Chain A
Amino acid sequence: GQSLEQPSEVTAVEGAIVQINCTYQTSGFYGLSWYQQHDGGAPTFLSYNALDGLEETGRFSSFLSRSDSYGYLLLQELQMKDSASYFCAVRAAGNNRKLIWGLGTSLAVNP
């Protein structure tokens, strides 16, 4: 089967750095996406990695290792507003442009 694994909860303090990991098992792979979802809100796109390495966008960075079937989202200089759920999603080969979603990581940022 195809699956993604990510931690269910992470807690951190304001100003800190947190890393949310995602490992995947899929038949073929095109890329790994990350989404943020605040309570009761719509998921919003954060980043996409198709190639190995680190992509940086402001305080958020995303990393991919295709050989390890692994990626992570790195959030720096945490702010209270970063408290949300973070989902990884994979576009797998042969999936006709559909995404496979992880169950999400709930991030709580404390003062």
Chain B
Amino acid sequence: NAGVTQTPKFRILKIGQSMTLQCTQDMNHNYMYWYRQDPGMGLKLIYYSVGAGITDKGEVPNGYNVSRSTTEDFPLRLELAAPSQTSVYFCASSGAQGPNTGELFFGEGSRLTVL
């Protein structure tokens, strides 16, 4: 049972480059989330989705874009990478009861460095 899978695990970008972080889940979860975590800090919500075709901004959406064309996939796009986007990115999902129980399932993270 794969759960939530993120790729790549590590990436170094140059300032101004663009890239997409991939996230896929095989649990048929409606809710998906992208978080970033800076060293020694908590999780900040970038974007989230309550189902295919529906996305919404979180706390820190600037510089990012998402799409949700299928239930399984929720890619995060970074346009014009900046050093401030150096962080660990986590994708998470939850089922129908997840928002009511606070239970999210996380991927292993993607560590991004922008130089």
Are A and B genuine complex partners? yes
Total B residues in contact with A, Cβ cutoff 8 Å: 26
Interface residue B56 (Cβ < 8 Å from any Cβ of A): yes
Interface residue A63 (Cβ < 8 Å from any Cβ of B): no
Check if A98 sits within 8 Å of B58, measured CB to CB. yes
Check if A87 sits within 8 Å of B103, measured CB to CB. no
Interface size bracket, A side:
20 to 34
Check if B102 sits within 8 Å of A91, measured CB to CB. yes
In the docked arrangement, what's the CA distance between A19 and B111, Å?
A: 31
Check if B56 sits within 8 Å of A45, measured CB to CB. no
Interface residue B90 (Cβ < 8 Å from any Cβ of A): yes
Check if A31 sits within 8 Å of B109, measured CB to CB. no
Interface residues of A in 28-42 (CB under 8 A from B): 30-33, 40-42
Partner of A101, one of B43, B103, B106, B108: B43
Q: Find the A residue at minimum CB distance from B31.
A: A97
Q: Find the B residue at minimum CB distance from A47.
A: B102
Check if B108 sits within 8 Å of A42, measured CB to CB. yes
In the docked arrangement, what's the CA distance between A87 and B44, Å?
A: 13
A42-B109, A87-B43, A104-B42 known; A99+B104 contact, CB < 8 A: yes
Encoded as 1 (CB less than 8 Å from any A CB) or 0, chain B from 24 to 46 comes to 00000001010000001111110
Encoded as 1 (CB less than 8 Å from any B CB) or 0, chain A from 32 to 61 comes to 110000001111110010000000000000
Check if B102 sits within 8 Å of A96, measured CB to CB. no
Specify which chain B residues have a CB less than 8 angstroms from the CB of A98 in the assembled complex. Answer: 33, 45, 48, 58
Interface residue B50 (Cβ < 8 Å from any Cβ of A): yes
Interface residue A89 (Cβ < 8 Å from any Cβ of B): yes
Check if B103 sits within 8 Å of A42, measured CB to CB. no
Check if A87 sits within 8 Å of B104, measured CB to CB. no
Interface residue B75 (Cβ < 8 Å from any Cβ of A): no
Interface residue B84 (Cβ < 8 Å from any Cβ of A): no
Measured CB to CB, the residues of B under 8 A from A are 31, 33, 40-45, 48, 50, 56, 58, 90, 94, 98-109
